[in-house]
């Protein structure tokens, strides 16, 4: 399987200051890295091995509030984000922390395999914290009154569903064009704030052509 864990989930905020206060100072997530230029920002907060990221830019609007799991006829592609905690004590410690900050918390709620609490961040993004009460030992562990045939095929990828790759990308074509943050790497390396991974090989010609030495440097 090519995919591993989620690298990051990216949301939109109209209030980056408040978002930093909420995720770093209240929830305790590290603000690890980010980029900002011309009124545009993209900041990352670390949760164990993953990140929650936020875009901030002119014209960003506050998300319309909808409670977790509530059916809606609106054109939405997102319902809520759940973040794991390691113990019942941590779940209630977080609940206490949120309530002390004046944030409404629903729960804890026992959902069988997890206990959850529900709350909103400063952007109206619906958040959940979950403590697992069971370990799934046989998959797919689904309880449903009208099971989907496709789900009953099993947990593993099924062969023959999608076309096979006929012409894989050769190594010499495994390149990426410069995007937002391209020059950020060089600036952070020079500042001693990041180190390139050992399995990363820089395309020297592409880098030299597209690099803007003055971008992001301290005056």
pLDDT in tens, 159-174: 888 888 999 999 889 8
> Given the DSSP bridges, would you call strands 40-47 and 106-110 parallel, antiparallel or unpaired?
unpaired
Q: In what order do the strands lie in the sheet with 126-132?
A: 81-84, 126-132, 114-120, 106-110
Structural contact between residues 96 and 90, judged by C-beta atoms closer than 8 angstroms: no
For the chain, list the domains and their CATH numbers: 1-61 (3.10.180.10), 76-156 (3.10.180.10), 172-210 (no CATH)
Residue 119 β-bridge partners: 127
Q: Identify the pLDDT of residue 37.
A: 87
* pTM, 2 dp: 0.80
In this structure, the number of other CB atoms found within 10 A of the CB of residue 99 comes to 13
The CA distance from 40 to 38, in Å, is 6
Each residue's pLDDT, cut to its tens digit, for the chain (219 residues) gives: 566 778 899 999 999 999 999 999 999 999 999 999 888 899 999 998 999 999 999 999 998 999 999 999 988 878 999 999 999 999 999 999 999 999 999 999 999 999 999 999 999 999 999 999 998 888 988 888 887 788 888 888 888 888 889 999 998 898 888 888 888 988 999 999 999 888 776 554 444 445 544 444 443
């Amino acid at each position: 399987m090519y995919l591993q864990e989620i690298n990051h989930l990216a949301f939109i905020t109209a209030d980056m200051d408040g978002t930093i206060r909420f995720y770093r100072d209240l929830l305790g997530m590290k603000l690890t890295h980010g980029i900002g230029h011309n009124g545009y920002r993209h900041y990352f907060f670390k949760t164990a091995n993953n990140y929650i990221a936020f875009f901030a830019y002119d014209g960003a609007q506050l998300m319309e509030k909808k409670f977790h799991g509530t059916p809606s006829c609106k054109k939405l592609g997102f319902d809520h984000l759940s973040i794991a905690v390691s113990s019942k004590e941590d779940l209630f410690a977080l609940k206490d922390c949120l309530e002390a900050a004046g944030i409404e918390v629903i729960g804890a709620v026992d959902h069988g395999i997890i206990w959850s609490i529900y709350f909103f961040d400063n952007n109206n993004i619906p958040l959940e914290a979950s403590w697992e009460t069971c370990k799934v030992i046989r998959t797919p562990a689904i309880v449903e009154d009208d099971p989907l045939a496709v789900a009953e095929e099993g947990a593993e990828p099924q062969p023959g569903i999608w076309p096979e790759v006929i012409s894989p990308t050769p190594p010499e074509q495994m390149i990426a064009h410069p995007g937002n943050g391209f020059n950020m790497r060089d600036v952070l390396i020079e500042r001693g704030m990041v180190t390139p991974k050992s399995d990363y090989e820089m395309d020297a010609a592409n880098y030299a052509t597209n690099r803007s030495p003055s971008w992001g440097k301290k005056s």
